[in-house]
Amino acid sequence: MGNPVVAVRGMRMAYGSVVVLADIDLTVAAGEVVAVTGVNGVGKSTLLTCLAGLRSPAAGTVSVLAGPPRDTPAFWRAVAFVADQPTWYPGLTVREHLELIRRTHEPVRGWCLPADDLIEIFGLPARADASPLDMSSGQRQRLSLAAALARPSSLLLLDEPEQSLDPGFRRELAALLRDGYAGHGGTVVMATHDPVFALAAGAREVRLSDGGIEDTDVAHGEPTAPPPVAG
């Protein structure tokens, strides 16, 4: 493995006296898809926000793209983070939002898809000229994911991307992440509750439990790392 895209060592994260993540080690290589799984409240979203630089761990080190994650324009030009649905700009259509995102990343260097293709792939042609306000929650989730693929990036952080999506589209999204994004060298780290989706995306499963981590290869269903570390 060359330089890892994500390298977490001995990370500990707590909210007050409640320890959410303890002694976490995680390495993700370029072009890899990693699915972070676990029950509600186990710390999946917290791990992603630490990788996005939006929270600082109480202990340990986090390295993303060979440096500590920081909330800076340079970082966000390399990393796309889809968690909560964004607040869209008023008066702009779905197509215009996607075009704007691509435009702000010009000159485009790296893999991404043009707005017209994304609208087609994400099943939004009927809503292309509408405001995102007029879309269902599932359609808005599709738009959020499409926005992340409308611009080039090296790392894609997705917090439960499957939420509000119908099963058919989940399969299409999984294939797009696997063959399109990761197939062109991009790295995906996503929190998910859907093992079928993770499997379809060809993801390596990283299971969180009791604040610790357990590596599992979804494709083979066998643990590939030691048992979880007690929190």
Partner 1 sequence: MRLVTADQAGALQAAADTAPVDTAPSVRAIRSFVRGRRRRAWEDVYAVGFAIVVALIYLSDLLSDPLSRLGPASGRAAGQAAGQAASQAVAGAALVIGVAAGLLMLVQAFGPLALSPADSSWLLLSPLDRRSLLRRPTATVAAVAALTGLLGGVLALTMAGPYLHHGSLALPASWLVLSAVGGAGIFLAVVFAAALAQPHPRWRARLRRSCAAVMVIALVGAVAGERWTGLSDAITTEFARTTTGTLGVVAAVSVALAALAGALGWLTLRRFPASVLRADSTRTGTALMAAAFLNVPLLTWIAEDNHWRGRLLTSRRWPGLPPAMALAWADWRRLGRRPALLTVLAASALVPALAGAAITGKPHGVTIAAALLAGGIVSGLHGTAATRRDTNDQTLRRMLGVDPAAALLARAALPALLAAAWLTLALTLLAATGVLSGWLWPLLGLAAGPGVAAAALRMARTAPINPADQGPNLAIGATPPWLISRMLSVIVGLIGAFPALRAVQAGHLHAGTFTAQLPLSAIVLGGYLFIASSLSP
Query: What's the min distance (Å) between Cβ of 126 and partner 1?
Result: 10
Determine the Cα–Cα distance for residues 100 and 56; give it in Å rounded to an integer.
31
Contact between 129 and partner 1 (CB under 8 A)? yes
**Binds partner 1 (CB under 8 A): choice among 5, 143, 145, 148:** 148
Determine the Cα–Cα distance for residues 45 and 161; give it in Å rounded to an integer.
12
65 or 80, CB closer to partner 1?
A: 80
Contact between 133 and partner 1 (CB under 8 A)? yes
Determine the Cα–Cα distance for residues 152 and 124; give it in Å rounded to an integer.
21
Determine the Cα–Cα distance for residues 205 and 38; give it in Å rounded to an integer.
10
Closest CA to 20 of 47, 38, 39, 2: 47
The single residue listed with the structure tokens 């995680």 is 26
65 or 206, CB closer to partner 1?
A: 65
Contact between 109 and partner 1 (CB under 8 A)? no
DSSP string, 17-37: TEEEEEEEEEEE-TT-EEEEE
**Binds partner 1 (CB under 8 A): choice among 19, 83, 175, 229:** 83
90 or 168, CB closer to partner 1?
A: 90
Query: What's the min distance (Å) between Cβ of 37 and partner 1?
Result: 23
- 23: tokens are 């002694």
Contact between 93 and partner 1 (CB under 8 A)? yes
Contact between 88 and partner 1 (CB under 8 A)? yes
Terminal CA-to-CA distance of the chain, rounded, Å? 29
Question: 230 to each of 136, 156, 207, 225, how far by Cα in Å?
Answer: 41, 29, 13, 14
Query: What's the min distance (Å) between Cβ of 190 and partner 1?
Result: 16
191 or 200, CB closer to partner 1?
A: 191
**Binds partner 1 (CB under 8 A): choice among 81, 169, 181, 197:** 81
Kindly list the residues in this chain that would bind partner 1 in the complex (CB under 8 A). 71-73, 76-77, 80-81, 83-96, 99-101, 103-106, 128-131, 133-134, 147-148, 151
